[in-house]
Amino acid sequence: MTDTPPFWQTRRLDEMTAEEWEALCDGCGRCCLHKLREDETNEVLYTNVACRLLDLETCRCSDYAQRRRKVPDCVQLTPEALADIDWLPPSCAYRLLAEGRPLAWWHPLVSGSPDTVHQAGISVRGRALSERRAGLLEHHIVDWPGTMPKPRRPKLRRVD
């Protein structure tokens, strides 16, 4: 008997249902950090300053249903929009699949737990601050959101 492969391995992004599309988000919160763009080079500079609606503990949007009304420049990810977006973090599930790469073990769809994205150190938990108290974004430029994280595996112990 063979296991049926999961939907993200068998369907293209533009073939997924709305529910599958939403489930792809790993809840890392990295895309909700503010970014700056350098005029001369067009380079994207990441900051550790989070959108005011990001819950810094869960790393999820605190009002996802109303987010576009409350934060008009919140970008809605769609399969079509992906091609024009150059600032998604390299660990983002949408970016990984669009580039033909697999989801990592810490992705909740793979691990079966929403906690692994935090346990592996992929989410912004503990290292982002809210735009409500950040001041100038230029003072908060960091590299880590734009780099592929080296995940921490949670400590394992033997089952006796």
Place of tokens 């809210």: 130
| Residue 11 or 56 with smaller CB distance to ligand SF4 | 56
| Residue 49 or 54 with smaller CB distance to ligand SF4 | 54
Q: What's the rounded Cα separation, in Å, for the pair 145 and 90?
A: 8
Residue 63 C-beta: closest distance to ligand SF4, Å: 7
Residue 145 C-beta: closest distance to ligand SF4, Å: 9
Binding site residues, ligand SF4, CB under 6 A: 25-32, 51, 53-54, 61, 67, 71, 74, 77, 88-89, 92-94
Distances in Å between the Cα of 46 and the Cα atoms of 3, 29, 36, 53, 141 are: 40, 13, 6, 18, 6
| Residue 15 or 22 with smaller CB distance to ligand SF4 | 22
Secondary structure element (H or E) that encloses residue 22, with its range: helix 18-23
For 20, the token pair is 């599958």
| Residue 9 or 40 with smaller CB distance to ligand SF4 | 9
Amino acid at the residue 6? P
For 145, the token pair is 């959101």
Residue 26 C-beta: closest distance to ligand SF4, Å: 4
Residue 15 C-beta: closest distance to ligand SF4, Å: 18
The DSSP letter of residue 65 is: G
